[in-house]
Amino acid sequence: MIRYALVCEHDHPFDAWFGASSDYDDQIARGLVECPFCASTRVRKQIMAPAVRSTKTSTDAPAPDQVHARMMEAMGKVRRHVETNFDYVGDRFAREARDIHDGESEARGIYGEASPKEVKALIEDGIQVAPLPPAATPKAKTEVN
């Protein structure tokens, strides 16, 4: 696994993990890497110091697949918490978030859909929003003959 320090066109810094540098290149080219703050897909790498390892091998560090599994589990818990405890407002998310911020609607947790343009406008107006972690995808079933 490779961790890159990234930044979007609006200078929001964030980190992302990739299986290989070619995975980063492929996902960027297909517009799949998105800023978690504003959903912009105009993302670039930041300059970062390389990870230098000593000759000693640490047995305490979890394997990359374990790190990935833990990360996916944590994101799933966040998503389930939001879906259980927040109000789903569908494509009215941007309007409802603005109404809550302006005191025109009841203050509560909400989730729904918004376009990148709507998200950008909310952020520029000081309204805090964050993308919901993706839903878990079911594992493909293998045929048994």
From first to last of its 145 residues, the chain has per-residue pLDDT tens of 788 999 999 999 999 998 888 889 999 999 999 999 888 999 999 887 666 666 665 566 778 888 888 888 888 888 899 999 999 999 999 999 999 999 999 999 999 999 999 999 999 999 999 898 887 666 555 555 4
Instruction: Evaluate if pTM is beyond 0.85.
Output: no
Cα 13 to Cα 70: distance, rounded to the nearest angstrom: 22
Write out the H or E segment, with its range, that includes residue 83: helix 64-85
Is the Cβ–Cβ distance between 42 and 9 less than 8 Å? yes
Using left for φ > 0, alpha for ψ between -120 and 50, and beta otherwise, residue 31 falls in left
Is the Cβ–Cβ distance between 29 and 11 less than 8 Å? no
